[in-house]
Amino acid sequence: MRSFLKLLTLASALPLAACNTQTANLAAPTAPVVQTALATQAPLAGEARDKEWMKLAPNATIDPKIARTTIDYPTKEAPGTVIVVTKERRLYYVLPDGKAVRYPVAVGHAGMAWAGTAEVDRKGEWPDWNPPAEMLARRPELPKRLEGGPTSPIGARALYLAEGKKDTLFRIHGTNEPEKIGQAVSSGCIRMLNADVVDLYERVPIGAKVVVR
């Protein structure tokens, strides 16, 4: 991987060769190698992509007191339900026998929080980020689309929430700001650590009930 990145860096320097004699002399004989590498390099996918991109994604130390754990959690909600308690900045995945997996999350800041009952309408791995029109109106400097990857604001996974098959525009997703987990900072979406959202993603099927309160 490092060799490929090095070759890609040399390739990007080719247009500047006229300004740097040494670069020009080094770049010329390696051009065919760059073309071959680009032609044969297979895109990362699945576990290999997760492993590589997780290493590249922003990371932060989380207080062990709020880290993901399994707890006693009596509730009337059925196993498989996702419950977000915004005041606690916690997300619970309900297990059988009065248990739940508890995750730390970041929630919407004042005036942007959402509450209600929805279902997981679709799911995405390292999804592209497409800010809704309302967000673009507030922050016109944002890109209209950002390709998914290790530094994307939407992180490693996303669960898209709908009410009666109508998109709520709210998501449960990863983050490129892990240091803000446990705070009220988002535009309403529920942010999770990338490792945590991958764990939740594997547990939650499409159609699962989500309660935000």
Residues that are catalytic: 173, 189
Angle separating helix axes 46-56 and 194-203, nearest 10 degrees: 150
Q: Token pair for residue 108?
A: 């919407």
Helix axes 2-13, 21-40, angle to 10 degrees: 130
| CB of 172 closer than 8 Å to CB of 91 | yes
CB 154 within 8 A of CB 173: yes
What is the C-alpha separation between 34 and 8, in angstroms, rounded? 7
